[in-house]
């Protein structure tokens, strides 16, 4: 730590904190009183975000306010001292500033306000309220519940998660490194995530036979339609769970099959692949019986009902 300090880069922790600044900025707002604390270009004092982000660097010339100015520096003789009233681009900004009360020394110091919720700003910082806002934003990804769920198998979930983010090393992604790679299951020249799940005739046959009766006429080779349906459907609770399980097990084993073929470690026919996925699902359901999820005891029975073994 000391070493890097000497080299002028600051400590590891300090640099990490600096990286969080953009995240923190969206929670901070200034209430202008004497205008001595808030920076004109870099603090949100007009309640429209940072001015530098709105105007870009040229804004400093158009408005005639220096880049490092505090808000009070844009005031002369108790009036706003800014240019831009005749600028086509910055006229609106000019007007909004003119409409704001000019900061005055006897009004006390500028106040930093911290966002507690949409349109609620308070003088004190609350880590709970802040975390809530960050958390809510992250939790809104619609597919999260079909990737991570109680009955899921973590290593399957991980592959599904990579697939959702399109981070699996499919041919289209490898092309950037000069590697040409077609589908090893059907010979299609362009191997993409959407092809493997489940536009490929091989993988689709497996998916169709395993999930066909759960999906009914909603069974589809299209990746986004499938992901949408697995995430959000009107099936009864047990079928919802089974569908998520079939989906993640299928994605996992189809990706495994693809890798084994690619590295010439053998291949399975459609029927063999279906048996493997079916067995993996039954094993997972059986293991749940000994875990804390007792209320799903009927799950295995239901799986026997909805899945026709080859």
Q: At what angle do helices 237-262 and 299-306 cross, to 10 degrees?
A: 70
In the complex, minimum distance from the CB of residue 190 to Zn ion, in angstroms, rounded to a whole number: 10
In the complex with Zn ion, which residue's Cβ is closer, 65 or 199?
199
In the complex with Zn ion, which residue's Cβ is closer, 51 or 185?
185
The answer to whether 230 and 247 are in contact (CB under 8 A) is yes
The answer to whether 229 and 239 are in contact (CB under 8 A) is no
Q: Does 153 bind Zn ion (CB under 5 A)?
A: no
The mark string for 173-202 relative to Zn ion (x by CB under 5 A, - otherwise) is ----------x-xx-x-----------x--
Q: Which of 247, 150, 170 is nearest to 207 (CA)?
A: 247
Please state the φ and ψ torsions of residue 112, each to the nearest 5 degrees.
Answer: -90, 130
- CA–CA distance, 310 with 301 (Å, rounded to integer): 17
The string of DSSP codes covering 223-252 is HHHHHHHHHS----HHHHHHHHHHHHHHHH
In the complex, minimum distance from the CB of residue 184 to Zn ion, in angstroms, rounded to a whole number: 8
In the complex, minimum distance from the CB of residue 183 to Zn ion, in angstroms, rounded to a whole number: 3
In the complex with Zn ion, which residue's Cβ is closer, 183 or 211?
183
In the complex, minimum distance from the CB of residue 194 to Zn ion, in angstroms, rounded to a whole number: 11
Q: Give strand ranges (E) for the chain.
A: 28-31, 75-76, 79-80, 111-117, 120-122
In the complex with Zn ion, which residue's Cβ is closer, 183 or 227?
183
In the complex, minimum distance from the CB of residue 200 to Zn ion, in angstroms, rounded to a whole number: 3
In the complex with Zn ion, which residue's Cβ is closer, 39 or 223?
223
Enumerate binding residues for Zn ion (CB under 5 A).
Answer: 183, 185-186, 188, 200
């Amino acid at each position: 730590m000391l070493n890097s300090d000497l080299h002028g880069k600051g400590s590891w922790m300090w640099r990490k904190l600096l990286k969080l600044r953009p995240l923190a900025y969206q929670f901070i707002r200034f209430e202008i009183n004497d205008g001595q604390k808030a920076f004109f270009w870099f603090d949100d004092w007009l309640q429209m975000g940072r001015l530098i982000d709105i105007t870009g660097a040229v804004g400093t010339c158009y408005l005639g306010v220096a880049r490092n100015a505090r808000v009070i520096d844009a005031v002369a003789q108790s009036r706003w001292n800014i240019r831009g009233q005749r600028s086509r681009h910055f006229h609106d900004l000019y007007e909004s500033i003119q409409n704001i009360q000019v900061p005055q020394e006897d009004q006390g110091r500028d106040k930093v306000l911290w966002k507690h919720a949409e349109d609620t700003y308070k003088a004190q910082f609350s880590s709970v309220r802040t975390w809530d806002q960050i958390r809510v934003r992250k939790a809104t990804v619609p597919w999260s519940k079909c990737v991570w769920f109680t009955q899921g198998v973590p290593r399957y979930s991980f592959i599904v998660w990579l697939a959702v983010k399109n981070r699996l090393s499919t041919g289209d992604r490898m092309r950037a490194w000069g590697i040409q790679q077609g589908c090893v299951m059907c010979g299609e020249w362009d191997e993409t995530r959407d092809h493997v799940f489940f536009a490929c005739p091989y993988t689709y046959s497996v998916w169709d036979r395993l999930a066909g009766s759960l999906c009914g006429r909603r069974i589809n080779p299209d990746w986004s339609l499938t992901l949408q349906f697995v995430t959000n459907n009107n099936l009864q609770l047990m079928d919802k769970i089974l569908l998520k399980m079939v989906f993640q097990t299928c994605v996992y084993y189809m990706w495994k099959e693809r890798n084994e073929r690619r590295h010439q470690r053998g291949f399975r026919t459609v029927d063999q692949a279906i048996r493997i996925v079916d067995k993996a699902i039954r094993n997972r359901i059986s293991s749940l019986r000994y875990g804390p999820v007792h209320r799903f005891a009927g799950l295995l029975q239901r799986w026997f009902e909805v899945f026709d073994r080859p």
